[in-house]
Amino acid sequence: MDAIDLSELAPKRRAHIVAIDQDPGPNHLDLRLCEMGFAEGMSVEVLHRAPFGGDPIAVLLGETLIAMRLDEARRVKVSLEDYPIPSANRPENKVAQ
Amino acid sequence: MTHPPSVSRAANTAGSPITIAVVGNPNAGKTSLFNALTGARQKVANYPGVTVERVSAHLQLPDGREAELMDLPGTYSLTPRSPDEEVTRNVVMGTQAGEQKPAAILSVIDATNLRNHLRFVLELKRLGLPMVLALNMSDLAERDGYKFDLAKLSELLGMPVIPTVAVRKRGLDAILAALPDAIDQTPTAALSALDVRSLNREAQSIARTVTLAEGHLSTLTRAIDRVVLHPVAGVIVLASILFVMFQAVFAWAEGPMTWIEDGIAWLQELAEATIANDWLLSLVNDGVLAGVGSVVVFLPQILILFAFIITLEQSGYMTRAAFLMDRLMAKVGLNGRAFIPLLSSFACAIPGIMATRSIDNPRDRLTTILIAPLMTCAARLPVYTVIIAAFIPDTTLTGGIGLQGLVMFGLYLFGIVAALVVAAVLRRTLTRGLAQPFLLEMPKYQMPRLRDLLIGLGQRGMAFLKRAGTIIMASTVLLWVFATYPKPPEDATAPDIEYSIAGYLGRGLEVIFKPIGFNYEISLALVPGMAAREVAVSALGTVYALQGDEDEVTTSLVERLRTAWPLPTALAFLAWFVFAPQCLSTLAVTKRETNGWRWPLFMFGYLFALAYVFAGATFWIATAILG
């Protein structure tokens, strides 16, 4: 399974989180991401990119819109493949655009 | 807002008051629920980190007991990232000094964000305190297609779960009915804290079990975001909102301002007709009415500015603005999060500096505090308005844009650019350090509530009038004394004020300010302006009102300035006020927020230096151009 950084994810493509990288630094980014609701198996989609260079991005995490910088998004590994376990956050009636 | 503890104690027969803590994620509608339950007049807004101070209110439970409900700052976890989140943690853990451990927790979560907010509920539950869960915004959740098995959720969590709609006051009775049972429960022993990943897994599993139908982020919110977060359209929308805001401050306030001016003039005539004593009449008319009147007249403009800011906060747009501005802020080493405190600083630097408590990185926070006074606060509006009215022609440019409004916009822009440059310099020198992450939840759009807007405006208006009635009145009266005594000698030829204390004081300061084009009336007006910036206008009013005969006294300040000041001086005065180092309240709040005199003194020093340099440059360039 090929995982890419959330920061690399093309807009309007639904993916799911496969891993959140540990952050040994003082910012504890991994913990903060978890606190904002980032977790393995959650669906993500990049909805908007900010002006002046596309950073930060607005990510639809489940059904919550989160603003984050690419630095933060790089810690989140996502996969475009179908998530094998039926998950409450993946609505079946959602049509990919 | 905050009820004194003695009130609660007196009302409670059991002795020490029963406290119930209201805890929840930012944007869960916690403050709205708190207001709906208690009727407390408190600010309701839609971006994370709005509640930074302890707010409590008295609550009567249905069984007749009295309790104290505490609204705690919104947070995502019990691992504090900022000073206000630390307060929440300390209170629920029972380690906050002077605060007893709450008897129960009323946990508020956003029904449309159940999975993520449940994790925090699980974390709180491990503390062992009795809990009641308010599933807030349940109407929006239903509209967006969510369906939950509430009985199952209550069973899995082991606490009552009550659907609420705080803004429509739905579910309040059920909450009140559930609280007495909760506070009667004996707290269980606290379980050891669990790491965030395990909590997330548990929350996900519960959410999956109780979610009968999954909803979607509202299509309306997504449609609005497609425009306002668009890289081009979004910036145009933001710039337009700010531009309309500043034009409105000028255009809409005109009528009410005339009424206030007429009212003051009427009061002065009334005083003339009823007060026989010359000395008292001069104190009332030239000191109190002229001074306070010239400040109160700006109330309409301040209210309009606040109306815009409150509406933007409540609608949920403020976090979008932070998103759009983050790149620009990052270039100078700041964070989109700083945009919210900085925008508040356009109303007043004091709430702005206090709102920086939601910025967790100490260096980012310090930088934001230091540049907050460069955001043109409402107190500078009176100064700008008078000078612009006196010296900038009231012409309309192509496209219906007023030249006066455009100059005002330019002054605001000048302050912003200066702030960005100062921030960039600070981040490379004094506040150097690791960049803070930018992670911000952008809430659903909500229709701003008129009631909340009016409550907010009422609070701000009263605060302003209180300032006008206390600090400003005291300083204008003091200035009147300075400008009246000692009396001129019998054979005086110059105007009376030349012989007074003020005359000497002004002449002393004139030595410092003469090189940048300030005459001694200005030098004099800057001193009482230390109390509050808008006092500079009333001080000018007092100084000039006292300088001539009866007819001239009645001539408005605008007319007086037009004849008394050359244009380069007026422009230099405007440039000075972009930086305006003089505001004791700002320095005092900076001292409190930075724990010492070092940073407020630094703030005063750098603002004074910049004000001096830019006012001087403006004066000399204008003099050279205008001959």
**What is the predicted pLDDT for the residue at B42?**
53
Q: Which two tokens stand for residue B193?
A: 């804290």
**What is the predicted pLDDT for the residue at B161?**
95
CA–CA gap between residue B520 and residue B526 (Å, rounded): 10
pLDDT bracket for residue A97 (50, 70, 90) = very low
B225 touches chain A (CB under 8 A): yes
Q: Could you tell me where the DSSP H helices lie in B76-186?
A: 83-93, 114-125, 138-143, 150-157, 172-184
Task: Count Cβ atoms below 10 Å from residue B424 Cβ, excluding itself.
Answer: 15
Average pLDDT over residues B429-445: 83
Average pLDDT over residues B559-574: 89
**What is the predicted pLDDT for the residue at B298?**
73
Q: Which two tokens stand for residue A32?
A: 């903060």
Q: What are phi and psi of B75, to 5 degrees?
A: -150, 160
Indicate whether B495 pLDDT > 70: no
- Parallel, antiparallel or unpaired: strands B18-24 and B104-110: parallel
Indicate whether B520 pLDDT > 90: no
B85 touches chain A (CB under 8 A): no
**What is the predicted pLDDT for the residue at A2?**
78
**What is the predicted pLDDT for the residue at B158?**
93
Average pLDDT over residues B241-268: 85
Average pLDDT over residues B437-444: 87
ipTM for this model: 0.85
Average pLDDT over residues B314-322: 89
Query: Using an 8 Å Cβ cutoff, are B483 and B543 in contact?
Result: yes
pLDDT tens across B348-401, in order?
A: 777 778 778 767 777 888 999 999 999 988 778 778 888 888 888 888 887 778
- Alpha carbons within 13 A on the beta-carbon side of B296: 22
B168 touches chain A (CB under 8 A): no
Chain B residues close to A49, C-beta within 8 Å: 231
Average pLDDT over residues B31-60: 64
- Parallel, antiparallel or unpaired: strands A15-20 and A4-5: unpaired
Size of interface A-B (CB pairs under 8 A): 129
Chain A residues close to B215, C-beta within 8 Å: 63
pLDDT bracket for residue B598 (50, 70, 90) = very high
- Parallel, antiparallel or unpaired: strands A57-61 and A43-49: antiparallel
B436 touches chain A (CB under 8 A): yes
Query: Using an 8 Å Cβ cutoff, are B479 and B546 in contact?
Result: no
Average pLDDT over residues B272-298: 82
CA–CA gap between residue B622 and residue B624 (Å, rounded): 5
Helix (H), strand (E) at residue B525: helix B520-526
A22 touches chain B (CB under 8 A): no
pLDDT tens across A52-72, in order?
A: 888 899 999 988 899 999 999
Q: Could you tell me where the DSSP H helices lie in B194-288?
A: 196-210, 219-228, 233-251, 254-274, 278-282
CA–CA gap between residue B429 and residue B332 (Å, rounded): 12
Q: Which residues pair with B442 in a beta bridge?
A: A65
Indicate whether B20 pLDDT > 80: yes
Q: How far is CA B125 from CA A1, A31, B159, B172, B188, in A?
A: 37, 19, 9, 22, 10
Indicate whether B437 pLDDT > 90: no
Indicate whether A88 pLDDT > 70: no
Indicate whether B43 pLDDT > 70: no
**What is the predicted pLDDT for the residue at B47?**
33
Classify residue B352 as exposed, middle or buried by CB count within 10 Å of its CB (0-12, 13-18, 19+): buried
**What is the predicted pLDDT for the residue at A93?**
44
Are residues A58 and B229, on separate chains, in Cβ contact within 8 Å? yes
Question: Which range, A45-54, B9-18, B535-544, B553-562, has the best average confidence (pLDDT)?
Answer: A45-54
The shortest C-alpha distance from A1 to chain B (Å) reads 22
Query: Reduced to 3 states, what is the DSSP secondary structure of residue B309?
Result: helix
Query: Using an 8 Å Cβ cutoff, are B113 and B26 in contact?
Result: no
Pick from B250, B566, B517: nearest CA to B385: B250
**What is the predicted pLDDT for the residue at B15?**
52
pLDDT bracket for residue B10 (50, 70, 90) = very low
Q: pTM of the entire structure? A: 0.77
**What is the predicted pLDDT for the residue at B531?**
62
**For chain A, what is the mean pLDDT?**
83
Cα torsion B458, B42, B138, B216 to 10°: value is 80
Indicate whether B484 pLDDT > 90: no
Query: Using an 8 Å Cβ cutoff, are B508 and B502 in contact?
Result: no
CA–CA gap between residue B356 and residue B40 (Å, rounded): 24
B446 touches chain A (CB under 8 A): no
**What is the predicted pLDDT for the residue at A84?**
54
Indicate whether B430 pLDDT > 70: yes
